[in-house]
């Protein structure tokens, strides 16, 4: 029969020091995490994915089959009304090199509907809010596009 050794310690005694890896610098860790998130948001791959997502939604907005439209959560009439603006945003997103991360986040929330308050999917939200969001996206992406054109005059020719 084996006996177990127990460490008996009085409550007023300090615990023995623990050896292990050094403590992590938390502010530096948070800074690196934020930098990675920013890089992931504005990466060319993510921009292409969002542009493809916009084009898919625009294509679904023109669905001729009324039964398919009936079973979709997407509000097709809102997509049809703002289709030109959405396609412009997709093109501007692909050609911008460093778009504003807030614009990218706003666009992702509009397309993904994570909180259920996207005007593309919720008919209780006014259509004017969709137009305001698209205007904000257009302004943000237009600013980065004009900065690119100013830096590279060969693109204007």
For residue 38, being part of any structural domain is answered with no
**Which DSSP string do the residues of 78-104 spell out, in sequence order?**
HHHHTHHHHHHHHHHHHH-SS--HHHH
* Residue-level pLDDT at 73: 79
- 127 part of a folded domain: yes
- Give the total number of structural domains in the chain: 1
Domain annotation covers residue 118 = yes
Residue 26 lies in a domain: no
Determine the distance from the C-alpha atom of residue 140 to the mean position of all C-alpha atoms in its chain, rounded to a whole number: 15
Question: 16 in a domain, yes or no?
Answer: no
pLDDT digit string, tens, across residues 104-122: 999 999 999 877 889 998 8
> What pLDDT is attached to residue 157?
38
Q: Is residue 128 part of a domain?
A: yes
Does 60 fall in a domain? Answer: yes
Q: What is the DSSP letter of 10?
A: -
Q: Residue 129: give the domain boundaries.
A: 43-152
Q: Is the pTM of this model over 0.85?
A: no
Contact call for residues 74 and 92 (beta carbons, < 8 A)? no
What are the CA-CA distances from residue 122 to residues 19, 59, 78 (Å)? 55, 19, 10
117-126 LR contacts (CB < 8 Å, sep 24+):
119/75, 119/78, 120/57, 120/74, 120/75, 120/78, 120/79, 121/73, 121/74, 121/75, 122/75, 123/75
pLDDT tens readout for residues 43-100:
999 999 999 999 999 988 777 776 666 667 788 889 999 999 999 999 999 988 888 8
- Judge whether 141 lies within some domain: yes
Helix-then-strand count for the chain, H and E: 7, 0
């Amino acid at each position: 029969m084996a006996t177990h050794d127990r460490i008996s310690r009085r409550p007023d005694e300090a615990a023995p020091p623990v050896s292990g890896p050094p403590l992590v610098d938390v502010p530096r860790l948070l800074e690196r995490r934020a930098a990675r998130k920013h890089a992931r948001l504005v990466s060319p791959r993510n921009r292409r994915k969002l542009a493809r997502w916009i084009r898919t939604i625009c294509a679904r907005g023109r669905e001729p089959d009324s039964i398919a439209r009936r079973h979709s959560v997407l509000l097709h009439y809102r997509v049809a009304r703002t289709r030109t603006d959405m396609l412009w945003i997709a093109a501007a997103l692909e050609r911008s090199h460093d778009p504003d991360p807030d614009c990218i986040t706003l666009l992702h929330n509009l397309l993904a509907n994570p909180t259920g308050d996207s005007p593309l999917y919720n008919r209780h939200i006014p259509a004017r809010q969709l137009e305001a969001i698209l205007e904000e996206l257009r302004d943000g992406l237009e600013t980065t596009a004009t900065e690119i054109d100013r830096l590279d005059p060969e693109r204007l020719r």
